[in-house]
Amino acid sequence: MSHPTKTGNPAVVGLAGFGLTTLLLQIHNLGYCTLGPVLAMGLIFGGLAQMIAGFQEQKVGNNFGFSAFVSYGAFWIGFGIILILNKIGIYKSETSDVGWFLVVWTGYTAILWLASMRIHKAMFTTFTLLIIGFILLDLGHFNLPIYDKLSIDPAIFNTIACYVLILCALGAWYMMAGIIINDLANKTILPMGTPLISSNPSASTSTQTTSPTPQTTAIPQPNA
């Protein structure tokens, strides 16, 4: 009797791309590197590689990973296109335009944040940091009238978002490391925690053979 062939978990690539590009963009936003590496990795690793990982998640029936990896992969490619178009002076996006880009992605992330409650605490923590980062960036990309009344520089929200999203990126890498190390050790070295909301026992049993650690990610946030 033949045994089924073991396949790799696509999340190890998706989480790596999500975490690396998110971290690299924050390093740029804090003034430590230029935009070039961010654009390159955003298109190739955070964009293309993460999207391919998402399509692999579809093959194992993981709707969360499928949606998250493909969508955030598209986010990074879209963000890269915005940067390129701004550079060459075609369809230039103002700060508020990027703000609306972020607002709609905040809405999408909120849906995955709710879904992450049914996965495990590591995923929920990562998505909590991601949605907080998005909200801070939303606030930082609009010059709202209340800012003048309160003497608030909206740039402060972008700076705070950098540190929140660095933690988010590290959360994605923690999950990536957990999938790889736990599998190699054949035991739990890096725990992910239990779900905040328990799923129906019969439903969880029927899906137990799918990818054990669906994504996230990426996170992303254009503050360039």
Q: Which residues contact 138 (CB under 8 A, 6 or more apart)?
A: 99, 102, 103, 106
Q: Is 45 exposed, middle or buried (0-12, 13-18, 19+ CB in 10 A)?
A: buried
Q: CA-CA distance, 110 to 114, in Å (whole number)? A: 6
Q: CA-CA distance, 195 to 51, in Å (whole number)? A: 26
pLDDT tens digits, one per residue of 40-80: 999 999 999 999 999 999 999 999 999 999 999 999 999 99
Q: CA-CA distance, 130 to 215, in Å (whole number)? A: 13
Tokens of 154: 């909206």
For CA atoms 115, 121, 127, 133, the dihedral sign is positive
Quote the pTM value.
0.88
Q: Tens digit of pLDDT per residue, the chain (224 long)?
A: 566 788 899 999 999 999 999 999 999 999 999 999 999 999 999 999 999 999 999 999 999 999 999 999 999 999 999 999 999 999 999 999 999 999 999 999 999 999 999 999 999 999 999 999 999 999 999 999 999 989 999 999 999 999 999 999 999 999 999 999 999 999 999 999 999 998 765 544 333 333 334 433 333 445 55
Q: CA-CA distance, 54 to 43, in Å (whole number)? A: 15
Task: Please report, rounded to a whole number, the percentage of residues in the chain having pLDDT higher than 70.
Answer: 88
pLDDT of residue 205: 38
Q: Which residues contact 114 (CB under 8 A, 6 or more apart)?
A: none
Q: Which residues contact 209 (CB under 8 A, 6 or more apart)?
A: none
- Give yes or no for a contact between 162 and 29, defined as CB atoms under 8 angstroms apart: yes
Residue whose structure tokens are 């929140």? 164
